[in-house]
Amino acid sequence: MHLSDNAQIVLQKRYYRKDENGDFIEDWAALVDRVASNIAGGDKELQEKFYALLDSGDFLPNSPTLMNAGADLQQLSACFVLPIEDSMESIFETVKNAALIHKSGGGTGFSFSRLREANARVRSTNGVSSGPISFMKVFNSATDAVKQGGTRRGANMAILSVDHPQIMDFITCKKDPNDLTNFNISVALTEAFMRAVSEDKEYDLISPHNGKVAGQLSASKVFELIVEMAHKNGEPGIVFLDRINQVNPTPALGEIESTNPCGEQPLLPNEACNLGSINLAALATEDDLNWARLKEVVRDSVDFLDCVIDQSKYPLETIAEMSRSNRKIGLGVMGWADLLYQLKIPYMSQEAVDLAERVMEYIDFEAKTRSMELALQKGSFPNFPESIYAQGELNREGKYCDWAKLARDIQQNGLRNATLTTIAPTGTISMIADTSSGVEPQFSLVYIKSVMDTEKLLYVNKWFEAALEEWNLLTQELLEEVSQSGSVAHMSDVPGELQEIFQTAHDIDPAWHIRMQAAFQKYTDNAVSKTINFPNNARIEDIREAYLLAYRLGCKGVTVYRDGSRDNQVLSVGTGSQQKSSEERKVAPRQRPEVTHGVTQRLETGCGHMYVTINTDSQGACEAFVQMGKVGGCASAQLEAIARLASLALRSRIKIEAIIRQLKGIRCQSPMWHKGKMITSCGDAVGQALENFLSMHVNGELKSISIKAEQDSALADSKPKAQVATCPDCGSGIEHVEGCLKCPSCGWSKC
What is d(CA 541, CA 324) in angstroms, rounded to the nearest whole number? Answer: 45
How deeply is 320 buried, as exposed, middle or buried, from its count of CB atoms within 10 A (0-12, 13-18, 19+)? middle
Instruction: Report the 10 Å Cβ neighbour count for 690.
Output: 22
Which residues partner with 187 through β-bridges?
160, 238
Residue type at 287? Answer: D
3-state helix, strand, coil in the chain (%, to 5): 40, 20, 40
Residue type at 541? Answer: E
Question: Which ranges in 652-737 belong to alpha helices (H)?
Answer: 656-663, 682-696, 707-718
Task: Give the DSSP letter of residue 173.
Answer: T
Half-sphere exposure of 150 (CA within 13 A, CB side): 4
List, as one string, the DSSP characters of 538-557: --HHHHHHHHHHHHHHT-SE
Residues in the chain: 751
3-state secondary structure of 601: strand
Which residues partner with 459 through β-bridges?
447
The pair phi, psi for residue 155, each rounded to 5°, is: -135, 145
How deeply is 473 buried, as exposed, middle or buried, from its count of CB atoms within 10 A (0-12, 13-18, 19+)? middle
Q: Angle 656-663/682-696 helices, nearest 10 degrees?
A: 150
Residues 354, 347 contacting (CB under 8 angstroms): no
Quote the Cα angle for 715-718-722, to 5°.
125
What is d(CA 547, CA 558) in angstroms, rounded to the nearest whole number? Answer: 7
Residues 329, 374 contacting (CB under 8 angstroms): no
What is d(CA 310, CA 238) in angstroms, rounded to the nearest whole number? Answer: 33
List, as one string, the DSSP characters of 60-115: EE-HHHHHHTTSSS-----EEEE---SSHHHHHHHHHHHHHHHHTT-EEEEE-TTS
Q: CA Rg, the chain, in Å?
A: 29
Residues 612, 632 contacting (CB under 8 angstroms): no
Nearest to 11 by CA among 332, 403, 452, 315: 452
What is d(CA 432, CA 429) in angstroms, rounded to the nearest whole number? Answer: 5
By annotation, the residues acting in catalysis are: 260, 262, 264
485-514 exposure pattern, b = at least 16 Cβ within 10 A, e = fewer:
bbbbeeeeebeeebbbbbbbbbbbebbbbb
Half-sphere exposure of 636 (CA within 13 A, CB side): 7
What is d(CA 171, CA 164) in angstroms, rounded to the nearest whole number? Answer: 11
Task: Give the DSSP letter of residue 528.
Answer: B
Which residues partner with 60 through β-bridges?
277
Cα→Cα distances 215→167, 173, 205, Å: 12, 20, 5
The pair phi, psi for residue 43, each rounded to 5°, is: -85, 110
Instruction: Report the 10 Å Cβ neighbour count for 385.
Output: 11
Question: Which ranges in 216-349 belong to alpha helices (H)?
Answer: 219-233, 241-246, 291-311, 317-326, 336-343
What is d(CA 672, CA 264) in angstroms, rounded to the nearest whole number? Answer: 49
Cα→Cα distances 505→134, 228, 249, 320, 408, Å: 36, 22, 34, 39, 41
